[in-house]
């Protein structure tokens, strides 16, 4: 039986708040769709009648990202830099660094099941099978049990690996972002996507699923 304590705490906090902010439209939509189902488990004094009131005092406030170091300057820069917008559709200009090197693919998300690493690594195995060269940086952090897909991938992708594991130095992390040609997500759970936006800000081309919060991260005119 799932523990609904924290979900109920969130609901009661929203009732008491003067204003409620969500990371994304997807986050807000998903939450308000679940509230009626949540409150069925708490039949007494659940304040379901105030759902519309909470919606009325809610807004979307995207998470701020300090892009100064990513762009090599000290002032914040836009999350989607102008060069990236200009390059979309020009395949030759999407590569960074030495064009004779295979493209560098980046994973910089948490090592958790909700990020769907199985699908990500299966795509890379397919590239291997077709003898399509690539290089790989697997960064990110794990706070619980590491999905077994990571250990398998470390062995199977050893020849492509440039880096494996959490990057302790932020400057080193930014250096990997700046070297990446592609940042890929296969996540099945995402309310915003800070790490993906950091990579985009550094110039990596995003390959993202058309679900969750991802459609909001990229201007509609740049969607395929």
Sequential DSSP letters for 186-216: --S--SS-HHHHHHHHTTPEEE--SSTTHHH
Q: What pLDDT is attached to residue 91?
A: 40
Gyration radius of the chain over CA positions:
20
Mean pLDDT of the region 190-211: 95
Q: What pLDDT is attached to residue 48?
A: 92
Q: What pLDDT is attached to residue 86?
A: 37
Mean pLDDT of the region 110-116: 95
In this structure, what are the phi and psi dihedrals at residue 178, rounded to the nearest 5 degrees?
-70, -25
Mean pLDDT of the region 144-169: 93
Report how far residue 212's alpha carbon sits from residue 147's, in angstroms, rounded to the nearest whole number: 22
Greater pLDDT, 14 or 75: 14
Mean pLDDT of the region 146-163: 95
Mean pLDDT of the region 6-10: 95
41-95 tens-digit pLDDT: 988 888 999 999 999 999 999 998 887 777 765 434 434 333 333 333 444 445 6
148-156 and 117-129 helices, crossing angle to 10°: 20
Mean pLDDT of the region 200-218: 94
Residues of the chain with CATH 3.40.50.2000: 82-222
Report how far residue 87's alpha carbon sits from residue 68's, in angstroms, rounded to the nearest whole number: 21
Report how far residue 82's alpha carbon sits from residue 183's, in angstroms, rounded to the nearest whole number: 18
Torsion, Cα 37 42 46 51, to 10 degrees, reads: -10
Backbone CA torsion sign across 192, 197, 198, 199: positive
Q: What pLDDT is attached to residue 126?
A: 98
Residue 104 forms beta bridges with which residues? Answer: 135
What's the whole-number average pLDDT of the chain?
Answer: 88
Percent of the chain whose pLDDT exceeds 70 = 88
Instruction: Determine whether domain 82-222 maps to CATH 3.30.1490.20.
Output: no
Q: What pLDDT is attached to residue 62?
A: 93
Q: Are 176 and 137 in contact (CB under 8 A)?
A: yes
Q: What pLDDT is attached to residue 183?
A: 98
Tokens of 109: 């998300």
Q: What pLDDT is attached to residue 141?
A: 84
Q: What pLDDT is attached to residue 114?
A: 95
């Amino acid at each position: 039986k799932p523990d609904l304590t924290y979900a109920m705490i969130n609901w009661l906090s929203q009732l008491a708040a003067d204003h409620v902010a969500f990371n994304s439209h997807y986050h807000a939509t998903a939450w308000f769709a679940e509230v009626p189902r949540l409150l069925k488990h708490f039949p007494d004094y659940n304040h379901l009648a105030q759902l519309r009131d909470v919606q009325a005092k809610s807004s979307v406030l995207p998470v701020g990202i300090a892009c100064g170091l990513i762009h090599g300057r000290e002032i914040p820069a836009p999350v989607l830099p102008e060069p990236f917008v200009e390059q979309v559709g020009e395949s030759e200009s999407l590569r960074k660094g030495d064009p004779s090197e295979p493209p560098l693919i980046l994973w910089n998300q948490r090592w958790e099941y909700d990020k769907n690493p199985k699908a990500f690594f299966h795509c890379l195995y397919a590239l291997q099978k077709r003898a399509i060269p690539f290089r790989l940086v697997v960064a990110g952090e794990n706070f619980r049990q590491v999905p077994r897909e990571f250990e398998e991938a470390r062995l199977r992708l050893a020849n492509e690996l440039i880096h494996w594991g959490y990057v302790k130095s932020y400057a080193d992390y930014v250096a990997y972002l700046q070297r990446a040609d592609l940042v890929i997500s296969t996540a099945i759970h995402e309310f915003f996507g800070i790490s993906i936006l950091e990579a985009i800000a550094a110039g990596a081309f995003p390959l993202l699923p058309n679900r969750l919060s991802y459609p909001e991260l990229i201007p509609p005119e740049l969607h395929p």
